[in-house]
Structure 1
Amino acid sequence: MRKILFLCTMILNISISANNDEINRILASIEQNNGNLKALRIEADARIEGNREEMMPDDPEAEFAYLWGSPHEIGKRQDVNVSQGFDIPLITGMKKKVVSRENELVELNHQSERTHLLLEAKKLCIELIYNNALRDQQDKQLQWVEHVADAYRKQYEKGNIGTLAYNNVQLYLTEIKHEVSRMGIEQKRILSELKRLNGGIAVELTGTQYDLHPLPADFEQWFGQMEQKNPMLKYAYKESELNTYRIKVAKKANLPRFSVGYLMENVVGERYQGVTLGISVPLWRNSQRLQQAKSEAKASEMHAATMRQEFYDAFRAIYQQAQGLQQLILDYHASMRLYDNAELLEKALDLGNISIMDYISEKRLYYERITKVLEAERDYELLYAELTYVEL
């Protein structure tokens, strides 16, 4: 297996050079300039600050009473009462553990949004590299067809070739020009999308080749590693863990709440002051909260298990599809290296050994094969980006 992977890497790198630096540079710029990511970061920070309020005790209560006596001779009375309430989940630190995990979920949600946006940008970069490579091939093709068309025009003007051959060359030239124009339009569209993601700042990506990496040999081992990095799976696991703590909080919330305070009573010629203790027994308010927490915990466990299975099945399918494309790319490169007739066609046409129709037909087949190679490389890169997006 190691020999196969080594051979795969060598063959792929015959005509493939690294463009990771260009892509990584663009992704870093988008992460810095994208307005949605900035807003998501601010929103996440705000939610974290809001969650921290749950760790705070209840606000203290203060009462002041000024009472007039009746009859007037008994004088006036002043009461001052200050108290602070506490609940068991707060005292035991259980609320702090819940808030800590809630904030982890906020960060994981932000991370998920970030990686999906960067994945979108990376796919656009992959499409642009494919477009650049195809445009490069078409420019070479156009250059040669223009040379042939010019030669045939001169021969036609001298009466050495017929109208049919001349028209076929001109039609082929027009077809290639249209393809070059179409690819130029597509390049502008992709660059416009990248500019949008980059906060309105234009980007440049001129690469025409991919830095393809062989797939990991052991899918199970690789998925186990990706599972630990996947923000959506981690979110599901953490949410299930959070709900177990919420059950504990709900149980402790059924215990009495306590309050401690200071009371001062001032009447004519007399004054009373001292400490007050209070207790609140939750008879009705929390009656369904524990059952709700248990139901939510059960649902989150089922959700996490289902999500993991869905991710596993989806990644397994993508992995198998990428395996097929990897082998297809190997076959394409091997066949084109062994059976490249490009130079032979040029010589045969120059020597008059083949007709212009045969030449055009063979050149079309040649560029169709090149296009299929480029498409296979692009599709492989898109699949590999899907498989490894958690590393962005």
Structure 2
Amino acid sequence: MRSLLIGLFAIGLSLNLQAQSDLKEILQAVETNNLSLKAQNQYLESQRIGYKTELNLANPELSYEKNFSDVDGNPYEILISQDFDFPTVYLHKNKIKKAKTANLDNLIQQSRQDILLRAKKTCLNLIYQNKLMEQLAIRYENAQKLVSFFQKKLDKGDANILEMNKVKIVLLNVKNQVQLCNTQIINLKEELKQLNGGKTIEFNTLLYPNFSLEASFSKLEMDVLSNTPSLNKLKANMDIASKQTRLAKNQLLPKLSLGYRYLNSDINKSFNGINVGISIPLWESRNKIKYAKLNQLSQESQFLSQEKIVLSDIQKNYQNYQGLKASLDEYRLILDGNNMNELLKKALDYGQISSIEYFMESIYFYESYDTYLQVEKEYHLAVANLLKYQL
């Protein structure tokens, strides 16, 4: 087991000085290699082309008519025509096309933020597991020393088999914790690999990233609202719906048709000329304006509903962050620089405490420190949720 620990921590224990890859580099790699983002970009490119097709004119029409009458001299007629919407319709369609195309950026930004946040949280969980593994390595080494210490006492008759068994159980528990922690690290690294498009990426640091959180909650709230893609998308949808209402009104204007007609027969001379037509939209545009206005109201309601949800999430995340920060500060005040494990070992060596007291105090200290690491992780996860808009 000792050789296993050496293999696991040979790199990890030196990471306080330099990490192989910092969080920024990890997120840049994920943004470049993530397969979902690549597929999303391809889909959005197809959407951009699709929006352009909405501006296409109707197909031109070519018709040919021939009569087989001897009296009329077998006349025939050729007609080429092109239908047009009223000119202002194309103006509004072009505005809608531009708005929809611009809104695609919000869609890709929303996907990007979700994936990068997931990658960031995976890295934060990895940092937690790495820090926990570092502690478990120290505990495992101490447990081994304790087994050796009690074995010597048992050989001298200064300890009993019950005490020896307790020490062995402590060693076994730590060993199992190490194996469980190692499994968690392997799983998290596999998740990070999957987010990175199947490419292996190393992240073994023990250091949480630095961050800058807006001191004013109202300023933070404004920053989050203005940089939340889901809200920006709905805001753009409201603008698009408004433009679609104006388009529906313009589609009540007549459609135009312009063409060329050629007529010829064996008896009469040939005739040609321009063909102009007009289409009155009596039935085709029925209820279109009503539908467009209702859609506009629906988009406004969706935006207001989502805005309230985002505001509520900001409030909850900020309160969670404040509570965790207070707890973390209290733990750091007590635990930082407090080498409790060494003090307990010295007290045991000098006979100041009994083995039972040592076990109880060690378990209490380990549980407290594990809780501290857990609170520290949750604190940084809360910060990640608050600062998602910066990704």
Q: TM-score, normalised by structure 1?
A: 0.90
> AA paired with 2:59?
D
1:279 aligns with 2:253: no
Determine what percentage of the aligned residue pairs are the same residue: 27
The one-character-per-residue Cα deviations of 1:293-325 (angstroms, maximum 9, x if unpaired) are 000001111111111111001111111110111
Q: 1:248 aligns to what? A: 246
In 1, distance between residues paired with 2:25 and 2:330? 32
What does residue 296 of structure 1 align with? 295
SS of residue matched to 1:55: coil
Q: Deviations over 1:23-74 (max 9, x none)?
A: 2222222222222221111111111111111112222222233x14312x64
For 1:223 and 1:61, the matched residues in 2 are separated by 57
Distance in 1 between residues matched to 2:199 and 2:238, nearest whole Å = 41
The corresponding residue for 1:31 is 31
Question: CA shift at 1:18, angstroms?
Answer: 9.3
Supply the distance in 2 between the matched residues of 1:266 and 1:345 (Cα, whole angstroms): 114
Contact 2:20–2:203 under 8 Å retained in 1: no
CA distance in 1, matches of 2:56, 2:390: 37
**C-alpha distance in 1, partners of 2:376/2:87?**
57
Residue in 2 that maps onto 1:263: 261
Q: How does 1:135-150 map to 2 (within 5 A)?
A: 135-150=133-148
* Aligned mate of 1:78, from 73, 76, 79: 76
C-alpha contact (below 8 Å) 2:74/2:265 kept by paired residues: yes
Aligned to 1:106: 104
Tell me which amino acid in the other structure corresponds to 1:378.
Answer: K
2-side partners of 1:338 and 1:125: how far apart?
26
Paired residue type of 2:214: P
Q: What is the match of residue 130 of structure 2?
A: 132
Instruction: Evaluate the alpha carbon distance shift between residue 21 and residue 390 of structure 1 in structure 2; reply closer, same or farther with a 3 A threshold.
Output: farther
CA distance in 1 between counterparts of 2:313 and 2:242 reads 29
Residues 1:388 and 2:387 are matched in the alignment = yes
SS in 2 for 1:81: strand
Report the CA distance shift for 1:180/1:352 in structure 2 as closer, same or farther (over 3 A). same
Question: In structure 2, what is the Cα distance between the partners aligned to 1:341 and 1:140?
Answer: 13
Could you tell me which runs of 5 or more consecutive residues in structure 2 were left unpaired when the two chains were aligned.
1-15
Deviations 1:128-179 (A, max 9, x none): 1111111111111111111121122232233332112211111111111111
**2:320 maps to amino acid:** Q
Q: Which residue in 1 is equivalent to 2:371? A: 372
CA contact (8 A) 2:347 2:353 kept: yes
The 8 Å contact of residues 17 and 209 in structure 1, kept in 2 or not, is answered as: no
Question: Per the alignment, in what secondary structure is the counterpart of residue 278 of structure 1?
Answer: strand
Contact 2:231 2:303 survives alignment (8 Å): yes
Q: Which residue of 1 aligns with 2:195?
A: 197
Q: Secondary structure at the match of 2:75?
A: strand
TM-score w.r.t. length of structure 2? 0.90
Give the aligned partner of residue 336 of structure 1.
335
Pairing of 1:49-64 with structure 2 (within 5 A): 49-64=49-64
Task: Indicate the SS of the match to 1:285.
Answer: coil
Q: Which amino acid aligns with 1:94?
A: H
Aligned residue runs from structure 1 range 12-31, under 5 A: 22-31=22-31
1:11 — aligned with what? none
Amino acid at match of 1:202: T
Structure 2 residue aligned with 1:220:
218
The letter of the residue matching 2:326 is Q
1:270 positional shift: 1.3
Quote the Cα distance in structure 2 between the aligned partners of 1:197 and 1:241: 34
- Report the RMSD for the aligned CA atoms in angstroms: 2.1
1:310-368 per-position Cα deviation (integer Å, ceiling 9, x unaligned): 10011111111101111221111112237553332122122121122211221222222
Preserved CA contact (<8 Å) 1:168 1:357? no
User: Shift of the alpha carbon at 1:211?
Assistant: 2.1
Which amino acid in 1 is paired with 2:385? E
> Which residue is 1:10 aligned to?
none
Measured in 1, the distance between the counterparts of 2:87 and 2:357 equals: 84
8 Å Cα contact 1:17/1:211 also seen in 2: no
Corresponding residue number in structure 2 for 1:179: 177
Alpha carbons of 1:18 and 1:375: their partners in 2 closer, same or farther (altered >3 Å)? farther
Q: Structure 1: which 5+ runs fail to align? A: 1-15
Deviation at 1:246, TM superposition (A): 0.3
1:170 aligns with 2:168: yes
Q: How far off its partner does 1:241 sit? A: 0.8
Distance 1:287 1:18 in 2: 69
Compute the displacement of 1:209 (Å): 2.2
Provide the aligned length of Structure 1 versus Structure 2: 376
Can you list the C-alpha shifts for 1:72-106, whole angstroms capped at 9, x where unaligned? Answer: x6433332222222213655511011111122233
* C-alpha displacement of 1:198: 1.9
8 A Cα contact 1:129 1:206, kept in partner: yes
Question: CA 1:251–1:390 in structure 2 vs 1: closer, same or farther (change >3 Å)?
Answer: same
Which residue does 1:316 correspond to in 2?
315
Alignment partners' CA distance in 2, 1:303 and 1:20:
45
Instruction: Look up the match of 2:204.
Output: 206
Conservation of the 8 A alpha-carbon contact between 2:83 and 2:256: yes
Q: Give the 3 Å change call, closer, same or farther, for CA 338–208 of structure 1 in structure 2.
A: closer
Mapped to 1, the partners of 2:19 and 2:263 lie a distance apart of 80
Q: Which residue of the partner structure matches residue 45 of structure 2?
A: 45
